[in-house]
Chain A
Amino acid sequence: MVAFTLRRIAISIPILIASSFVVFLLGTAAGDPLDPLLGRNPPIPQATIDAERVRLHLDQPVLERYWNWLVGLFSGDFGPSVKQNLDIGSEIFARFGITMRLIAFAMLIALVLAVVVGVVSAVKQYSVVDYSATFLGFLFLSMPAFWFAILLKQGGIAFNNTVGEQVVYTIGDASVPPPTDTFARFADIAGHIVLPTIALALISYAAWSRFQRASMLEVMNSDYVRLARSKGLSRRRVMVKHALRTALIPLVTVTALDLAAIISGAVVTETVFQWRGMGDFLLESIRTEDVYALQAWLLLTAIVVIGFNLIADLLYAVLDPRIRYA
């Protein structure tokens, strides 16, 4: 198991490095930060443009620039932003915390919901519950996240109006200034995170619950479940200790694989609810063609995704003894 872990970590490192190169190339392809300067009226003096070019290291050949950037990363330097006094590193980490809060919460809820609905659907196959859950699942899978988020916003406002108080918030991740009282603070955060979480969770849940249903059905019809029943174990014990235990394992991998998609979903959700998180940072950087900011964004998400996949791999090995020596 230890050897397995070390090997997995060892493999991740070259992947990460290769990733950083791809990220760098993408950043370069995403635009020329000098373009907006060239079209300005009144025109910017050439000297300023040249100085900017040097500041952004655009005068260096690609590979050299990549190397310098990579080395700089180790000392926490993400490179110069188009905005002169913006420290990409600190800004992005602040945003990262905000977004991860949303993603972690949404994934947790989506997972729990998916397992419950998937298992119930499988156990009560072809029942009304199964059919409605399946239909709802398909509906959420087909729903554009941004449209649904706007709908939730509308609903939240209507809800507030009926209750007469601002219970749920539709803008931002916290009130400004944040309340001082701990309980009020907690309620404030909760109120802000409720709607975006629902938006983000419901779409992942849809895909996972269908997967869980299929996985559960497959396991329920397996030989070893049949043998467990022939041993005289109660139906409940067979369901939980044999069927569910093995049916949950593939979900681990699926969750990890979906993380990139969830990050995409978070970008959209944050836009609708106007959170100043990673999503907002990304869109802003694209619009301003802030190459280094984009690279930092991509690199950070790549690290998160690769790291998460690593954890999923290890978790899988813990849950399924057959994998441990692969």
Chain B
Amino acid sequence: MTEPVLEVEDLHVTFPTDDGLVTAVRGVSYRLRPGEVLGIVGESGSGKSVTSLAVMGLLPATARVTGSARYRGRELLGASDSELSGIRGKNVAMIFQDPMTSLNPVYSVGYQIAEAVRAHNDVSKQAAMSRAIELLDTVRIPNAAERAASYPHELSGGMRQRVVIAIAMANDPDVIIADEPTTALDVTVQAQIMQALETAKTATGAAMVLITHDLGVIAGQADRVMVMYAGKLVEAGSAEDVFYTPRMPYTLGLLGSLPRLDQKSKQLTPIVGAPPSLINMPPGCPFTPRCPLAQPVCDEIEPPLAATTSLDHLAACHFSSELVEAKPDDVFNTEVADTKALAEFVRQTEGGP
């Protein structure tokens, strides 16, 4: 097996808050091979963004990070800022969620790309600027040479995100982390951005970590998929494994809640309830209150990540064997059984503030 370009081992991240210690990430481990696309899927609050920010060393100073994150064998956690600055933007680059606020409003986009180039290469301003224009062209910004002098507020959201992608590509990194790159954008723009990301990957040959809550974005792009829930990794495997033979009820529920155009219309499977509070988590599997397969053992013992269909396909569930050949609506109840409660809910919300 080729040496992994990024290796995360037993990562824990906690934040102190007014209400107590929040454990945002609990024991996440993964390996990223060169050129591989890893999709990390999860709801808001599942810890997927925090994991990547921890690897880059971009969490606020109050965060406590333990474990290990290695880029080509070099330990990133706890490294000095100057060491990390040498790696950031050059070997590991990041694309953030909200393009409207990711760019500095007082500098032109060309300047901001050129700045990334000059941070790691001793080149003249003109050389950096022409590279910037080149990159703008690569991400398909029309009239790149003119556009380079534009300010961020003169560009649309989609174009701004492409500028961010250009910045990430600037120094041919080995790893590009894309943190919910399309979440803040219209669906019509999403496809363009995904295409730009594809271009970035081909042009730089980088491995990519694609973080999203949208399974549709992952499908067709990712080689491997990781599912996170309540700060924990609950399923990991190749895209085929996870999409076609999920072995964790949460994954199954997620798949069932996706509207599909390629299948006969069926009832979507909503997952009951809400993600748990990350403060003072009780023992056992965090998905238990919402899981249709839950048994007493689920409350007591947290299931370890264990191999299921193959050594590469891991799932954290005591009953993953029960999910063989299961379809989402087999496991999750799709009927609105409680019509009275629904009526009550409707009455409450229309009753006024």
Contacts and interface: CB of A to CB of B under 8 A. Distances in A.
Interface of A: 221-224, 226-235, 242, 245-246, 249, 319-322
Given A227-B96, A229-B88, A320 B103 contact: no
B87 interface: yes
B105 A224 contact: yes
Pick the most buried of B56, B89, B101, B104: most chain A CB atoms within 10 A of its CB: B104
Contacts of B164: 227
Nearest to A235: B81
B90 interface: yes
B105 A230 contact: no
B89 A231 contact: yes
B249 to A, nearest CB: 35
Contact of A226 (B58, B86, B106, B151): B58
12 contacts: A221-B60, A226-B96, A230-B56, A230-B88, A230-B93, A230-B96, A231-B116, A232-B88, A232-B120, A319-B106, A320-B105, A321-B151
Nearest to B117: A231
Interface string B110-149: 0000011001100000000000000000000000000000
Given A230-B93, A231-B88, A235-B81, 6 more contacts: A227-B164, A230-B58, A231-B89, A232-B89, A235-B85, A245-B106
A289 B110 CA distance: 62
Nearest 4 CB-CB pairings of A with B: A232-B89, A231-B89, A232-B88, A223-B101
Contacts of B101: 222-224
Contacts, number: 73
B329 interface: no
B223 interface: no
A320 B106 contact: yes
B102 interface: yes
Given A223-B96, A226-B96, A321-B153, A231 B106 contact: no
B52 to A, nearest CB: 10
B58 A246 contact: no
Interface string B41-63: 00000000000000010101000
A321 B105 contact: yes
Contacts of B153: 321-322
B98 interface: yes
A229 B105 contact: no
A223 to B, nearest CB: 4
A242 B104 contact: yes
A245 B104 CA distance: 10
B62 to A, nearest CB: 10
B167 interface: yes
B94 interface: yes
